[in-house]
Amino acid sequence: MSRQFLADGLELSGGDYGIVAVVAVIALAALVVGFFLVKEVLAAGQGTEKMQEIAKAVQEGAAAYLKRQRNTLAIFGVVVFLLLFALPAEDMSERIGRSIFFLVGAGFSFGIGYLGMWLATQANLRVAAASREDGGREKAMRVAFRTGGAVGMATVGLGLFGAAVVVLVYAGQAPKVLEGFGFGAALIAMFMRVGGGIFTKAADVGADLVGKVEQGIPEDDPRNAATIADNVGDNVGDCAGMAADLFESYAVTLVAALILGSVAFGVDGLLFPLIVPAIGVITAIIGVYITKAKVGESGLTTINKAFYISATISAVLCAIAAFVFLPGSFGDFGEEFAASTGNPALIATVSVIIGIVLAGIILWLTGYYTGTEYGPVKDVGKTSETGAATVILSGLSVGFESAVYTAIVIGGAVFGAYLIGGMVALFAVALAGTGLLTTVGVIVAMDTFGPVSDNAQGIAEMSGDVDEKAAGILTELDAVGNTTKAITKGIAIATAVLAATALFGSYQDSIGQELARIGAAVGDSDSFINSIVSPNTLVGVLLGAAVVFLFSGLAINAVSRAAGAVVYEVRRQFRDIPGIMEGTTRPEYGRVVDIVTRDSLRELTTPGLLAVFAPIAVGFGLGTGALAGYLGGAIATGTLMAVFLANSGGAWDNAKKLVEDGNHGGKGSDAHEATIIGDTVGDPFKDTAGPAINPLIKVMNLVSLLIAPAVVQFSVGPDASLGLRVAIALVAVAVIVVAIVVSKRRGTTIADSPAEQTTSA
């Protein structure tokens, strides 16, 4: 198949359309499989009346939160839709398509998040009930993992279907339209990650500080007014937030691969990145159905085994597809490639395999630093014998160390693909990302498994309707879930880096194309693109790194403020409502849910505005070179920061589990209290700020890609206007400053009394 160009882009033949149609059918098949998995989960038993009552409260709280979040995000969606419509485009068709598919991507992202939340709140009850039956461990694990499998099928199905439809409708213009699709997915995922992360950790931290530390009662004791909010938070943060996050990782990586592929290989480069994730759909189905717990085998071993088997199948099938679909010589692409050496099929194969292998290494590496059976977490647990300070210090050490090794592994994968790619180096990096995408279906299943198991244990403890054997099963699954959640965070970070690196290359291509369109002289073009080696670029690097720190600080501070409100409310109820501690009076669970709902939706605005407007300020204010530096600084710092936060938090969490299992004094000991404090510090690390960095760096890359043509237009050529550029930059800076000032005025300290807290909120 040779490259074919029209004046307005690439031309697809009838056979090409047939390939894309098959990909779309495979995507729909994933949705069908997901439907049957949902039916299987819902067919499981629902346990006792008390368990159903508790589950219903969690379901209602989660649905109410996401309904209010949807209304908040709709405002952002309308504003961004109009801004996208105003950005430069080759013609009205591209302008309309980009804006419409922004809404499609945003809708898919929110829909995936809502499905993850809804199904998890149905499954947690059924997992708790399954633990009480014969073969309870195997049944409970099956329900929990297939819940995640259903969400995973929806993730890969909608992501692949959306991309395939764009290619079918827009053909050669598809890459530009897909920028809108990816941006919609990334923007909504970031908001859901931030909002859900603030909700879940404010409730969790508040519940732990008053219940476990001050009152000395168990984590999910029904006497604690924050327990329902805590369980709701697991679903809106870990399920809705992470499902949307992984969907946008899928969509954005696919977008980057299609953009770079169309530039590198023409039609073939537009189609092959669709074929690879289509293979991933097949292997994801295999991975979900072969995950079956065995007597005497660790649950984590079972899940990891399924992951490695499906990843291996993906590697083999992708290699076959590359050699069948792609030619063995660059000369087959046209005369402009005649002098090029190398085998395109081999380059594509090795690049995809690099991505698959990267997923496996990240799985092992993250598991090592956060799993209870390995040295790092055991060392953190041992330091609990000398107090909370040493627990925190050792956890920080684990986070810092693991960030370095993870960054080296990801950097090695990026550079390896880049070296192998030769003249299509950036496309090779993007293909490594699509290789990693072939595991996303199983990754989503692993991630959802965690909060479902956690919620199941909470429902069991609050109801009191499980015996010691069932409680032990749920405790084991919860510990496995802690590790799988940490692993999926690590893999999500890797996908973010690969996607951002590929988008970084797309950003340079976009600048070059715009310069060619406005007819800039060759010398001017080279000078403009190569302006990366200049002082303003270094300033951009520093600003990109600084935004990651500021974003993380805003997210953690938001948790601190919201958790403070929860602490005061739970204390008030213990003090002012007679009979709570005796178990004769039901706490006012709804008040805590309302507090964290209100605060989380209010707090997500500032980080979101920072992510969108900071690249605009740098690009229009300092130029394309500085914006390139900004993206580089954000990618590098974001990688290290995300891994540090995620793995520190994961180590603290599982160190607490180690002590609760009877080590170092067990529950109720001074060591236990020390690990509770460490876990409380780690909660916003691993479940709020850390995961939110993934969509942050992709949102900033996509904003940069979208504004690049406008920056070029206003910098060189007939439309150049320094005054307009400065005006746009100043407006963007003003928006950021106002948002931060408003956030700070909410206060960074906890009020001295419940009355003050209510007033300030």
Domain residues for 266?
A: 5-516+529-760
pLDDT value of residue 7: 32
Closest CA to 508 of 391, 426, 400: 426
By the 8 A CB rule, do 224 and 207 touch?
Answer: yes
Position with higher pLDDT, 169 vs 231:
169
pLDDT value of residue 488: 83
Phi, psi of 6 (to 5 degrees): -110, 175
Position with higher pLDDT, 519 vs 394:
394
Average pLDDT, the chain: 84
By the 8 A CB rule, do 413 and 355 touch?
Answer: yes
> Does pLDDT of 749 surpass 90?
no
For 392-423, write each residue's pLDDT tens digit.
999 999 999 999 999 999 999 999 998 998 77
Position with higher pLDDT, 273 vs 373:
273
The tokens 């508040």 sit on which residue? 206
In the structure, how many helices (H) and strands (E) does the chain have?
24, 2
* Domain count across the chain: 1
Q: Is residue 521 situated within a structural domain? A: no
Q: Is residue 152 situated within a structural domain? A: yes
Q: Is residue 212 situated within a structural domain? A: yes
b/e map 3-27, b = 16+ CB within 10 Å: beeeeebbebeeebeebbeebbebb
Cα Rg, the chain, nearest whole Å: 25
pLDDT value of residue 25: 96
pLDDT value of residue 9: 53
Residue 254 — pLDDT band, cuts 50, 70, 90?
confident
Mean pLDDT, residues 96-111 taken together: 91
By the 8 A CB rule, do 585 and 579 touch?
Answer: yes
Q: Give the separation between CA 462 and CA 473, rounded to whole angstroms.
A: 16
Mean pLDDT, residues 496-513 taken together: 77
Mean pLDDT, residues 377-388 taken together: 92
The number of CA neighbours under 13 Å toward the Cβ of 345 is 14
Highest mean pLDDT: which of 161-165, 202-206, 334-338?
Answer: 161-165
Q: Is residue 354 situated within a structural domain? A: yes
> Does pLDDT of 337 surpass 70?
no
Mean pLDDT, residues 714-720 taken together: 78
Mean pLDDT, residues 511-536 taken together: 58
For 302-324, write each residue's pLDDT tens digit.
888 999 999 999 999 999 999 99
Closest CA to 322 of 256, 371, 269: 269
pLDDT value of residue 53: 86
Residue 465 — pLDDT band, cuts 50, 70, 90?
confident
Q: Any idea which of 235-239, 581-585, 724-728, 757-761 has the lowest mean pLDDT?
A: 757-761
pLDDT value of residue 215: 83
Highest mean pLDDT: which of 34-43, 50-59, 94-103?
Answer: 34-43
Q: Give the separation between CA 320 and CA 741, rounded to whole angstroms.
A: 56
pLDDT value of residue 744: 79
The number of CA neighbours under 13 Å toward the Cβ of 119 is 34
pLDDT value of residue 332: 63
Q: Is residue 524 situated within a structural domain? A: no
Residue 634 — pLDDT band, cuts 50, 70, 90?
very high
pLDDT value of residue 338: 55
Q: Give the separation between CA 729 and CA 733, rounded to whole angstroms.
A: 6
Q: Cα dihedral sign for 119, 121, 127, 133?
A: negative
> Does pLDDT of 212 surpass 90?
no
Q: Is residue 722 situated within a structural domain? A: yes
Q: Is residue 522 situated within a structural domain? A: no
